[in-house]
């Protein structure tokens, strides 16, 4: 026969065991989320570093700094995401230790920085200077006149694509810089052969359009209008698999990515 004290002890043990299982499950979820986020950040960082290497090679042969400057901007723009990934991994590591020992205080286990703080701060300042510059390498926001590609596309009746909408020019410039390392810019700023998956991710993460952000900025098929909006005007001149430069409409600042033309 179980005494009252033994009954209380048995239930206490069950509660503690259940709590330990919940902590273990939470730690596994944290590790999964942290690794998924970190994988994406590392992939984008690798792309930027590859672009920087190509920029150095280009500079060594032609003294052109365009690609090198774009890579520096991309590296600077990635700093916030890298810091978030580092913190996420740190929390996941601490969560795993806490699950194994619930009485353990959370503390930093290891510094997972890819570069030193001084290096990233230098890159950030360089990127900020480029964003604020007035030279030929600065990001242009098209305002009254809408952009047209250096090489015009064949006319079509429908365009399928995605867009990003933000409320200020600084956000639009940063998104454009992140897209610029995935494509090749023409004289007017259209990024040909840009990465559609990257654009969709940026739209989901950054776009302030409540109707399309969750769908990666998907607008579906757009048909020609007799009185086109600025977004439609840019959409119908954007080359297939290209990202437009940032432009301003009545609702804010846009970037458009063309997936299909017909």
Q: Tell whether 48 is covered by a domain.
A: yes
The pLDDT confidence band at residue 33, using thresholds 50, 70 and 90, is low
pLDDT tens digits, 147-182: 999 888 888 999 999 999 999 999 999 899 888 888
- Residues 45-72: what's their mean pLDDT? 73
Q: Retrieve residue 60's tokens.
A: 């060594």
Tell me the residue range of the domain where 51 lies. Answer: 4-132
Give the pLDDT confidence of 197-248 residue by residue, as tens digits.
Answer: 999 999 999 999 999 999 999 999 999 888 889 999 999 999 999 999 999 9
Per-residue pLDDT tens digits for 67-107? 777 777 777 777 777 777 777 766 666 555 545 554 544 44
pLDDT of residue 235: 96
- In a domain, residue 198? The reply is yes
Residues 56 and 115 in one domain: yes
Which pLDDT does position 52 carry in this prediction?
74
CA distance 217 to 222: 13
- Whether residues 123 and 32 share a domain: the answer is yes
pLDDT for res 199:
95
**Residue 149 in domain:** no
pLDDT, position 38: 67
Same domain, 80 and 189: no
Q: Looking at residue 168, which CATH number applies to its domain?
A: 3.10.50.40
The pLDDT value recorded for residue 137 is 55
pLDDT recorded at residue 147: 92
Same domain, 116 and 189: no
Per-residue pLDDT, 71: 73
pLDDT at 136 over 70: no
Question: According to the model, what pLDDT value does residue 242 have?
Answer: 96
Of residues 231 and 37, more confidently modeled: 231
**Is residue 202 packed enough to be buried (19+ CB in 10 Å), middle (13-18) or exposed (0-12)?**
buried
pLDDT score for 89: 65
Domains of the chain: total: 2
Say if residue 14 is in the same domain as residue 115: yes
pLDDT at 217: 96
Summarize the confidence of residues 5-25 as an average pLDDT: 66
Does residue 106 sit in the same domain as residue 168?
Answer: no
Query: What is the SS3 assignment for the chain?
Result: CCCHHHHHHHHHHHHHHHHHHHHHHHHHHHHHHHHHHHHHHHHHHHHHHHHHHHHHHHHHHHCCCHHHHHHHHHHHHCHHHHHHHHHHHHHHHHHHHHHHCCCCCCCCCCCCCCCCHHHHHHHHHHHHHHHHCCCCCCCCCECCCCCCCCCCCCCCCEEEEEEEEECCHHHHHHHHHHHHCCCEECCCCCEECCCHHHHHHHHHHHCCCCCCHHHCCEEEEEECCCCCCHHHHHHCCCCCCEECCCEEECCEEEEEEEEEEC
Convert the pLDDT of each residue in 105-129 to its tens digit: 444 434 444 444 555 555 555 555 5
Give the pair of three-digit tokens for residue 68.
């090198």
The confidence band for 32, taking pLDDT boundaries of 50, 70 and 90, is low
């Amino acid at each position: 026969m179980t005494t009252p004290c033994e009954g209380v002890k048995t239930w206490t043990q069950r509660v503690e065991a259940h709590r330990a299982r919940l902590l273990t499950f939470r730690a596994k979820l944290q590790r999964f989320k942290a690794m998924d986020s970190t994988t994406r950040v590392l992939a984008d960082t690798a792309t930027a570093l590859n672009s920087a290497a190509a920029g150095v090679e280009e500079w060594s042969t032609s003294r052109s700094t365009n690609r090198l400057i774009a890579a520096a901007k991309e590296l600077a723009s990635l700093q916030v995401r890298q810091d978030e990934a580092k913190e996420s991994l740190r929390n996941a590591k601490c969560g795993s230790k806490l699950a194994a020992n619930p009485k353990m205080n959370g503390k930093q286990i290891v510094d997972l920085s890819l570069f030193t703080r001084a290096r990233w701060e230098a890159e950030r300042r360089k990127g900020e200077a480029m964003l604020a510059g007035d030279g030929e390498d600065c990001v242009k926001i098209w305002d009254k006149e809408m952009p047209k590609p250096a090489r015009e596309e064949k006319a079509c009746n429908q365009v399928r694509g995605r867009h990003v909408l933000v409320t200020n020019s600084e956000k639009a410039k940063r998104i454009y810089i992140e897209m610029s390392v995935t494509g090749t810019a023409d004289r007017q700023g259209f990024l040909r052969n840009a990465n559609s998956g990257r654009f969709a991710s940026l739209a989901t993460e950054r776009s302030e359009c409540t109707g399309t952000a969750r769908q990666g900025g998907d607008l579906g098929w757009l048909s020609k209008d007799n009185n086109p909006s600025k977004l439609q005007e840019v959409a119908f001149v954007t080359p297939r698999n290209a990202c437009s430069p940032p432009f301003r409409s009545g609702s804010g600042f846009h970037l458009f990515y063309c997936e299909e033309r017909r």
